[in-house]
Chain A
């Protein structure tokens, strides 16, 4: 069963425009949600997690349990934000992370 859905494979925006990367999940327990990012020629790394409720590099994500969503947002995109973004859910009882298929963000100058 698909646990994490990222409907957009590619998202292109202009520098300074707002950006929202969508993520929906299906999990019956209390989920922990994460966003991981992979910049060009770099390894996959944690961007932010919902329990921290912090803003990283201007990005925020709010867990909406009613809509089972965890969309990643940034009000003003920068060129250096161009990367692959993966939403992930932690199946806590089994300590398994499930990743979405990823969204490629392309910020144009």
Chain B
């Protein structure tokens, strides 16, 4: 079976542009997480979905960031009016349910804002 898939793997954009990053979790995994990893840092929590709803979006840095998971499977992280400080690797992870305690990560989407 396929693991967590993230597209694009690499995205270069200009300051002020809009960006979408996609995550396709492992089939049947109800929990989905977005993390951001800057150089030299560990993954930083952004948002957590249980099914279709965002159970916790407290990690989103500001209202330029938004994420959806309309059918409880694929999720899209949307960043408006990108800034240079948004440059990072965006990681998606999924787990079977909230109690398994194991996250399965994608390979990440590297975003560079020029």
Contacts and interface: CB of A to CB of B under 8 A. Distances in A.
A13 interface: no
Chain A binding surface, main DSSP class: strand
A99 B55 CA distance: 19
**What class of interface size applies to chain B in its complex with A?**
20 to 34
A65 interface: no
Interface residues of A, number: 23
Given A34-B101, A96-B48, A97-B103, 16 more contacts: A4-B42, A6-B42, A9-B40, A43-B3, A43-B105, A43-B106, A44-B91, A44-B93, A44-B103, A45-B104, A94-B56, A96-B56, A97-B33, A99-B43, A101-B41, A102-B42
Interface of A: 4, 6, 9, 32, 34, 36, 43-46, 49, 51, 86, 90, 94-102
